[in-house]
A and B are shown apart, each in its own frame.
Chain A
Amino acid sequence: MASSSSSSSTQVKKITLKAADGKHFEVEEPVAMEMETVKSFFVGNEDAMKDMVVPLLNVSSEHMPAILDFYRNHSEFRKRTPPPPAEEVKAFNEAFLENKSDEQLMEMIMAANFLNTKELLNFLTEAAANRIKNKSVEYVRAFFGIENDFTPEEEARIRAENEWAFDGLDED
């Protein structure tokens, strides 16, 4: 397997990834292998490792540094003994999401899905869920630019039926 070859050599191998807009990123092999998509690219094709450029079609170069940073830190968290304190992981995750717009978050979810990394996808979808919880219908629609396709009659009827279920929402 690819991972065993890296441990036998003293120098860390690098893999070149190509973002959707054509920009190249040189990445240490273990970090690149965090992405199932990259890993499966090399399955049965180990000889090609040296000069192969892996195209990542759904990942814009804007998000690549942050995503690679996530992989580096989280794989380090996993390997460390004893495991890092929860606050350290939480602090990293919060810093990761800070200043990320909703649009950027959505793009990264698409990227994480394409890269087939369960850990990153779980983390990002959880973050998206946190942004829409306890919000009013109007807030959620405006926040994510969703068009209301209910007719006024439909909406009024559903609201009348479950009006009391709307208690306890956050202020918009």
Chain B
Amino acid sequence: MSESCSNSRHFSWLMKSCFPNSNPNQNYHTNIHQSITTTTTTTAAATDISSLPDDLLLECLSRVPSSSLPSLSLVSHRWSRLLLSPSFFHLRRHLHLLHHSLFALSSTTLQSATLLFDDDTTCSSWVLHPFPFLPLHSLSFANFQSFLSQARLSAIGPRIFIIGRNAMLRYDTWTRTLLSCSPMLFPRKKFASAVVSAKIYVTGGAYSTPTQSATVDEYDPETDTWRVVSHAPRVRYGCIGASVDGVFYVIGGLKMGGESAARAAGRREAHVLYASSMDLYDVEARAWLRSRALPGGGCVVGACASMGHVYILANHAVELSFWRFDARRKSRGFGEWSRIKSPPLPGQVRVDSRVKFSCVGIGDKVCLVQVMGCIDDLLRRSGRPLRGFKQSLVLVYNTDSGDWTRGPDLPDVIPRAACVHFQS
């Protein structure tokens, strides 16, 4: 099928090159002969690669290994523009040059690491990258740390968007460059974000006035603009976003509204206020579907989407439970929850209110990364808080087989990480 697509595309190029100024209704042969004079001039000019039309230059550039992309983006404005174009991404996908990876960025050390997921095997090993900290944003190291500590990550193809309260950065994993983008319309904290059809959607989080944070805002990376597209049925603080089948899922979090909102923002352990439900926003229809109740008590500590399902990790104070929601809208099972195998936590990981996981869907895998938490609370109780902490566990759930495997530990230099899946 993909073969026939590319053929038809080639055919349209051919038609273009064959009949540069022709009317398709005119006689076929006269057109061919007319066009001889116009096309021979372009042949004569074809002396180097820069004179190739964009389509053909893209065909060449899309076959270059990713390690060469940073320098190619510096060749000229045109090359840089081509590497950013959606066609470049689609060509690489077509050539099977795209790979699923997990990206982790530490808010305290400003180090980042990527973990490549191959198609058949689980995963390789973490590769460390110093994150290009930016003097050009005139942010101090400390300010940058605080920006990162509250940021949410969303990725569109190879580009990772770091969405902070008052700023947004775009990190290009191909060219390894960091760009400043338009910040969100309203400052948010602990909000939900997800990508639907190459656009970013955010909602919820802390707010200055309740009406602002109840909006759903859409970011278009093509134009670098935000706009309000809807109003959420309720405001959630600490909610998690995911997307399947064009639906933006706003999952869990704390109930917000009136007096209790202000209190909740200051009190993390307010269990009674858990909003044990999720809201479903149909992006294309610009409409809200029926909200769904969450299983497992509603204390969602991680959630993500993978292969047509939404996965949530619920915390029951002493143990974790793992659930799957059928989010395939055309399937008969749409809307059904099922409890699945819980992540096999090693004995030394104690689940308490300090443990924190990042849950990321990567192709047909769900990856749990322990980004905060204690490995031995006895040590902590005996007054040695730092020694007792460890945050590195990586568990991988295979949605096909339903089995968990342990991935390579997150390197020690990536504490308090924010994680996201990207393709490059």
Query: Does A64 belong to the interface (CB within 8 Å)?
Result: no
5 sampled A-B residue pairs with Cβ under 8 A = A114-B14, A116-B14, A118-B6, A136-B71, A147-B76
* Contact (A166, B36) CB under 8 Å given A113-B17, A118-B7, A144-B50: no
Partner-binding segment picked from B55-63, B205-213, B387-395: B55-63
- Binary interface profile of B, 66-79, with partner A (CB < 8 Å = 1, else 0)? 01101111111111
Whether B39 contacts A144 by the Cβ 8 Å rule is no
Q: How far is the CB of A58 from chain B (nearest CB, A)?
A: 5
Whether A55 contacts B33 by the Cβ 8 Å rule is yes
Which chain B residue shows the least CB distance to A154? B77
Distance A136 CA – B74 CA, assembled complex (angstroms): 10
Whether A106 contacts B61 by the Cβ 8 Å rule is no
Distance A134 CA – B65 CA, assembled complex (angstroms): 8
Interface residues of B in 157-192 (CB under 8 A from A): 175-178
Which chain B residue shows the least CB distance to A134? B68
Chain A residues near B79 (CB-CB < 8 A): 146
Name A's B-contacting residues (CB within 8 A): 20, 36-37, 40, 55, 57-58, 60, 102-103, 106-107, 109-110, 113-114, 116, 118, 121, 125-126, 128-129, 132-137, 140-141, 144-150, 155, 157-159, 161-162, 164-166, 168-169
Whether A102 contacts B48 by the Cβ 8 Å rule is yes
Q: How far is the CB of A55 from chain B (nearest CB, A)?
A: 6
A-B contact count (CB 8 A): 152
Distance A156 CA – B53 CA, assembled complex (angstroms): 28
Whether A60 contacts B132 by the Cβ 8 Å rule is no
Q: How far is the CB of B33 from chain A (nearest CB, A)?
A: 7
Chain A residues near B1 (CB-CB < 8 A): none
Query: Does B331 belong to the interface (CB within 8 Å)?
Result: no
Whether B10 contacts A145 by the Cβ 8 Å rule is no
* Contact (A145, B50) CB under 8 Å given A36-B10, A125-B56, A159-B74: yes
Whether B43 contacts A140 by the Cβ 8 Å rule is no
Output the residue of B46, B55, B129, B132 with the most chain A CB within 10 A: B46
Name B14's contact: one of A37, A128, A140 (CB within 8 Å): A37
Which chain A residue shows the least CB distance to B73? A158
Query: Does B134 belong to the interface (CB within 8 Å)?
Result: yes
Distance A159 CA – B59 CA, assembled complex (angstroms): 26
Distance A166 CA – B68 CA, assembled complex (angstroms): 8
Chain B residues near A144 (CB-CB < 8 A): 48-50
Chain A residues near B59 (CB-CB < 8 A): 109, 121, 125
- Binary interface profile of B, 7-50, with partner A (CB < 8 Å = 1, else 0)? 10011011001100000000000001101100110110011111
Whether B46 contacts A107 by the Cβ 8 Å rule is yes
Chain B residues near A149 (CB-CB < 8 A): 76-78
* Contact (A162, B132) CB under 8 Å given A113-B17, A121-B59, A137-B71: yes
Query: Does B51 belong to the interface (CB within 8 Å)?
Result: yes
Distance A64 CA – B50 CA, assembled complex (angstroms): 23
Name B136's contact: one of A60, A135, A157 (CB within 8 Å): A157
Query: Does B229 belong to the interface (CB within 8 Å)?
Result: no
Q: Beyond A140-B72, A145-B47, list 4 extra A-B contacts (CB 8 Å).
A: A107-B46, A121-B59, A141-B76, A161-B136
Whether B76 contacts A128 by the Cβ 8 Å rule is no
Which chain A residue shows the least CB distance to B11? A116
Distance A91 CA – B46 CA, assembled complex (angstroms): 28
Name A146's contact: one of B10, B33, B50, B61 (CB within 8 Å): B50
